[in-house]
A and B are shown apart, each in its own frame.
Chain A
């Protein structure tokens, strides 16, 4: 039976009143429940909830925390298991095995989230706390963060919201560098798209990648040892303040401009300096626990703050916790108990440790690292204890302000939303005659969604930690060698083309997987895991929900269809996030934006490949047949605007064969460079290979456009389709002496290929055999639009 709530504890009256009055009560109390949800809470408790309980359920049942609209769909379509998976979705980060070195099983922990709403309202702090939150998800598994990536989507830089868009771009990029550079985590990549659908809802996704030894993984749960010994709950980090109170519910609704000022207080305040101190000190705590043979639990505080973290720690073990909110170190006096329980103050973690270890843990933070002095008021304190009964009890100033079963709090709720296909918007595109291919290529190269992202990534420290092998801008994926004593490499890339989402959400999901796999394979790595962040509008709108379901289906099918290189098992989706309500109060949703990150393994990192041509006299090979569908392509958007023509369909078998062949080729050391074919097709990919060749020894190429449709004579295809098709493929630079071995692999693996030309020092890019004859572009002509095309939008 539930404890009787003392009469001086505030309650929210739910039972025995009608819908109208209840809704009024909820709004007055600042709760976003529906009346039905409020009654379900009262039903679970067997009484009216206290204000603290109501706020906890309000947070835990938000879309952001509960995945109430998405959970069923994700479970149905995404493969999450596999021989290499140590931990799938469910905790803060997924974990997958990387390599065994000197008897130790090294793993990659990876988490992927969004911080869209906060970044729209307060760009700098929103993006910074996005990084701050995602790295905590990885650190709290016991891992050391070895890289971050940031896929970004911004509004139209020349549209009606241009001024605000530029402020957001500047603020977001600044927030990312100010946080991650100070924390000391290298930025390994990301991508950027601009479109007016993001005018009122930018997307700021963040990925963090960590390294952890398998037996040193720390779980986000109370250890089972706590069933027969005493365990304390320790809170460490920044003093708790009201910042971010209501953050999870803010992320779970449409941004309302009228409420923009209130929403600012729902955004947390970043402190990378304190995070760095916590990170280094926490390593010492992990070591202390290992050395003393203690099993501990560890979790970061994110959405829902203390309430969410401690209840989940308990629920994961079937145990309970009793927390005294009066023992929480606070930044200001007179904070209400619901604020202490649910505020989302940044830079905090929660430990569950054997009682005997507590003083030593406190000593590390408070004395060895002097946190209270160095970072004003921060530190570690014991705030409660583990209890055997699976109850979640919060006390404040001597009164019980929350007493519920941990299961009830963390089980969440689930909705099956209505799903309805959009009316088809696809229109056939007819290629016009008389387009000047040369001029079109320069226009596409300079398009804001194609041109170089150098202006942004040079703000990011990409080499801190000293393990970086391939930096942003050098290849299709970032590459690190995270285990200093070993030759194994990790490649990582993220992708998601929103313009595919505008036409076909299933293909947008599938191509996000295929493209991220290609990016990782193009540096020579074979995929070992995927993560996804699914950014959509309001899921209560049936068409939006349909887009979501289709994207998830596309991701699942691609992960299974392409598969792991060796076993052919599905590439596991080990972590992810759903962000709904990316919709303006005026009603328009962002383009369906499934964004996928792929992690790959390089058995020998010295065999990695980069994009730029390396030397004259090599052969250039194209892998992957060109298609005729130009919908959503950079070419079509450049010449025909937003026309929604059919997009290319991902052929999973072809993608698999090419991934296997390209990684074989890289491992055998047969190629000098490699680049995948994506936005802008073969023409843009070739230009980039020229532009990224050695700075003081630029290498060009002579390319036969007819050969793009195959080596056999008589191949047909329209020049524009051949050059700009975004059907999946790869370009390889291969020395003449290696061609026999290359062809053996390509034939063995059943890959479509064509030898399309040769490299030559200093010639720029020549295309021969177009319908209008030959044409050439110097490296300088290519460089101008590509270097400057997007700089204005990013400044």
Chain B
């Protein structure tokens, strides 16, 4: 039987600015995608198989990045959809919203257990833009479903507040044990817990992406939509993807092939098809 195409909604909160390229990246991996207004009719949400909160500066980062949007009613609706197992991915500012809403890591419902704090970097402050290498710590999440644990991928980061922190003692260990740490910053070959600039923001134990316990809600700081095609990868980048990129120089065809971020969107699609739809047709 023909599977119906996967449908993804990208949520446009006031101040997001990555919605268009996120939509393109989703579509490039064989899914349909619509951009939905934060204040639009909420019943439409149920029509979609998964949701992405894209990057940007919702509500001007008032109070803290993501803090205002996290209180929006649409987040409650997303929480309900997530309870049914549907994936919700927060990228960069979207990650900040998911953390501020308590949906991630979501150990205690309704509780904000982590924060995305200001970057700590030697001899500089504020915003920092850099391609990072990432080690897959868990392949059970909706952003790593098509990858394998300990795979190394490369995706750019760009933020001023991306340092995963918590005051809950033992939480970080539990997140690792539960497989809720989805990705960590690494060296080009997957070396763990590297120093700046490989860990671009001083994040605790190099954490770059965290999920809820079911793996369907993920807060990730790196921007996979900026690495969706090989043409987006820098030529001088180290590691596997840099070499792939240099090898493709001059070839329009190869440069149009999926880049490292493409695997994140492939994961989203296969997660929906295999885990949600494959499970007794409940989706």
Q: B230: shortest Cβ distance to chain A, in Å? A: 10
Is there contact, CB below 8 Å, between B129 and A463?
A: yes
Q: A641: shortest Cβ distance to chain B, in Å? A: 29
Partner of A484, one of B14, B24, B127: B24
A649 CB-CB contact with B under 8 Å: no
Is there contact, CB below 8 Å, between A487 and B252?
A: yes
In the complex, 29 of the A-B residue pairs with CB atoms within 8 angstroms, ordered by the A residue number, are A271-B60, A272-B57, A276-B57, A280-B12, A374-B59, A455-B124, A458-B124, A458-B128, A458-B130, A461-B127, A461-B129, A462-B129, A463-B129, A463-B223, A464-B21, A469-B231, A474-B235, A474-B236, A604-B252, A605-B252, A610-B235, A614-B235, A695-B236, A695-B237, A696-B188, A696-B238, A696-B239, A696-B242, A791-B123
Which residues from B are CB-within-8-Å of A458?
124, 128-130
Is there contact, CB below 8 Å, between A606 and B60?
A: no
Is there contact, CB below 8 Å, between A276 and B127?
A: no
Is there contact, CB below 8 Å, between B225 and A466?
A: yes
Residue in A closest to B233 when the chains form the complex, CB atoms = A469
Partner of A182, one of B57, B124, B156, B243: B57
Cα separation A276 to B225 with both chains bound (whole Å):
20
Which residues from B are CB-within-8-Å of A271?
60
Tally chain B residues at the interface, Cβ within 8 Å: 47
Which residues from A are CB-within-8-Å of B228?
466
Cα separation A463 to B226 with both chains bound (whole Å):
7
Cα separation A465 to B25 with both chains bound (whole Å):
11
Partner of B238, one of A459, A669, A695: A695
Which residues from A are CB-within-8-Å of B128?
458-459
Q: B159: shortest Cβ distance to chain A, in Å? A: 9
Cα separation A471 to B158 with both chains bound (whole Å):
13
B178 CB-CB contact with A under 8 Å: no
Is there contact, CB below 8 Å, between A463 and B156?
A: yes
Residue in A closest to B22 when the chains form the complex, CB atoms = A466
Is there contact, CB below 8 Å, between B236 and A183?
A: no
B255 CB-CB contact with A under 8 Å: yes
Which residues from B are CB-within-8-Å of A184?
17-18, 56
Is there contact, CB below 8 Å, between B236 and A612?
A: yes
A428-469: which residues lie under 8 A (CB-CB) from chain B? Answer: 455, 457-469
A413 CB-CB contact with B under 8 Å: no
Cα separation A276 to B61 with both chains bound (whole Å):
13
Please give 13 more A-B residue pairs, beta carbons under 8 A apart, in addition to A487-B252, A695-B237.
A182-B17, A276-B57, A375-B14, A458-B128, A465-B20, A474-B235, A606-B255, A669-B250, A693-B236, A694-B237, A695-B238, A696-B238, A696-B242
Residues of chain A at the chain B interface (Cβ within 8 Å): 174, 177-178, 181-184, 271-273, 276-277, 280, 368-370, 374-375, 455, 457-469, 471, 474, 481, 484, 487, 604-607, 610, 612, 614, 669, 672, 692-697, 791, 795
Which residues from B are CB-within-8-Å of A606?
231, 249-252, 255
Quick one: CB contact mask for B177-214 with A, threshold 8 Å, 1 for yes?
A: 00000000000100000000000000000000000000
Which residues from A are CB-within-8-Å of B231?
469, 481, 605-606
B234 CB-CB contact with A under 8 Å: yes
B77 CB-CB contact with A under 8 Å: no
Query: Given A692-B236, A694-B236, is A607 in contact with B124 using a C-beta cutoff of 8 Å?
Result: no
Which residues from B are CB-within-8-Å of A795?
123-124
Cα separation A774 to B5 with both chains bound (whole Å):
65
Is there contact, CB below 8 Å, between A459 and B242?
A: no
Is there contact, CB below 8 Å, between B129 and A459?
A: yes
Is there contact, CB below 8 Å, between A607 and B250?
A: yes
B109 CB-CB contact with A under 8 Å: no
Quick one: CB contact mask for B42-62 with A, threshold 8 Å, 1 for yes?
A: 000000000000011101110
Residue in B closest to A461 when the chains form the complex, CB atoms = B158
Partner of A273, one of B12, B37, B57, B188: B57
Which residues from A are CB-within-8-Å of B237?
694-695
Q: A269: shortest Cβ distance to chain B, in Å? A: 13
Cα separation A549 to B223 with both chains bound (whole Å):
48
Cα separation A604 to B61 with both chains bound (whole Å):
39
Cα separation A661 to B123 with both chains bound (whole Å):
43
Most chain A CB neighbours (cut-off 10 Å) among B20, B24, B228, B239:
B20
Residue in B closest to A670 when the chains form the complex, CB atoms = B250
Residue in A closest to B246 when the chains form the complex, CB atoms = A614
Q: B154: shortest Cβ distance to chain A, in Å? A: 11
B39 CB-CB contact with A under 8 Å: yes
Quick one: CB contact mask for B69-83 with A, threshold 8 Å, 1 for yes?
A: 000000000000000
Most chain A CB neighbours (cut-off 10 Å) among B12, B127, B235:
B235
B110 CB-CB contact with A under 8 Å: no
Cα separation A406 to B55 with both chains bound (whole Å):
45
Cα separation A463 to B129 with both chains bound (whole Å):
9
Q: A192: shortest Cβ distance to chain B, in Å? A: 16
Which residues from A are CB-within-8-Å of B158?
181, 461, 463-464
Cα separation A760 to B222 with both chains bound (whole Å):
34
Residue in B closest to A666 when the chains form the complex, CB atoms = B250
Is there contact, CB below 8 Å, between A273 and B59?
A: yes
Which residues from B are CB-within-8-Å of A484?
24
Residue in B closest to A791 when the chains form the complex, CB atoms = B123
Cα separation A280 to B12 with both chains bound (whole Å):
10
Which residues from B are CB-within-8-Å of A182?
15, 17, 56-57, 60-61
Q: B201: shortest Cβ distance to chain A, in Å? A: 12
Which residues from A are CB-within-8-Å of B20?
465-466
Residue in A closest to B14 when the chains form the complex, CB atoms = A374
Q: A557: shortest Cβ distance to chain B, in Å? A: 35
Residue in A closest to B56 when the chains form the complex, CB atoms = A184
Is there contact, CB below 8 Å, between A612 and B14?
A: no
Cα separation A745 to B243 with both chains bound (whole Å):
29
Which residues from B are CB-within-8-Å of A474?
234-236
Which residues from A are CB-within-8-Å of B226?
463-464, 466, 468
Query: Given A368-B37, A458-B130, is A466 in contact with B250 using a C-beta cutoff of 8 Å?
Result: no
Which residues from A are CB-within-8-Å of B127?
177-178, 181, 459-461
Cα separation A178 to B60 with both chains bound (whole Å):
10
Q: B283: shortest Cβ distance to chain A, in Å? A: 29
Partner of A277, one of B15, B21, B129, B225: B15
Q: B171: shortest Cβ distance to chain A, in Å? A: 30
Q: A178: shortest Cβ distance to chain B, in Å? A: 8
Partner of B249, one of A181, A463, A467, A672: A672
Which residues from A are CB-within-8-Å of B24?
466, 484
Is there contact, CB below 8 Å, between A276 and B17?
A: yes
Cα separation A547 to B63 with both chains bound (whole Å):
50
Which residues from B are CB-within-8-Å of A466?
18, 20-21, 24-25, 225-226, 228, 232
Cα separation A555 to B242 with both chains bound (whole Å):
39
Which residues from A are CB-within-8-Å of B61?
182
Quick one: CB contact mask for B243-261 with A, threshold 8 Å, 1 for yes?
A: 1001001111001000000
Ordered nearest first, which 10 A-B pairs have the shortest CB separation?
A184-B17, A466-B21, A696-B238, A273-B60, A695-B238, A606-B252, A182-B57, A669-B250, A463-B226, A461-B158
Which residues from A are CB-within-8-Å of B246?
614, 694
Q: B161: shortest Cβ distance to chain A, in Å? A: 12
Is there contact, CB below 8 Å, between B21 and A465?
A: yes
B126 CB-CB contact with A under 8 Å: yes
Cα separation A520 to B255 with both chains bound (whole Å):
21
Q: A667: shortest Cβ distance to chain B, in Å? A: 10
Cα separation A467 to B24 with both chains bound (whole Å):
11
Residue in B closest to A695 when the chains form the complex, CB atoms = B238
Most chain B CB neighbours (cut-off 10 Å) among A181, A182, A466, A607:
A466
Cα separation A458 to B188 with both chains bound (whole Å):
20
Which residues from A are CB-within-8-Å of B236?
474, 610, 612, 692-695
Which residues from A are CB-within-8-Å of B15?
182, 273, 276-277
Residue in B closest to A606 when the chains form the complex, CB atoms = B252
Most chain A CB neighbours (cut-off 10 Å) among B17, B226, B236:
B236
Which residues from B are CB-within-8-Å of A692?
236
Cα separation A182 to B159 with both chains bound (whole Å):
10
Most chain B CB neighbours (cut-off 10 Å) among A184, A460, A605, A791:
A184
Q: B86: shortest Cβ distance to chain A, in Å? A: 25
Q: B101: shortest Cβ distance to chain A, in Å? A: 19
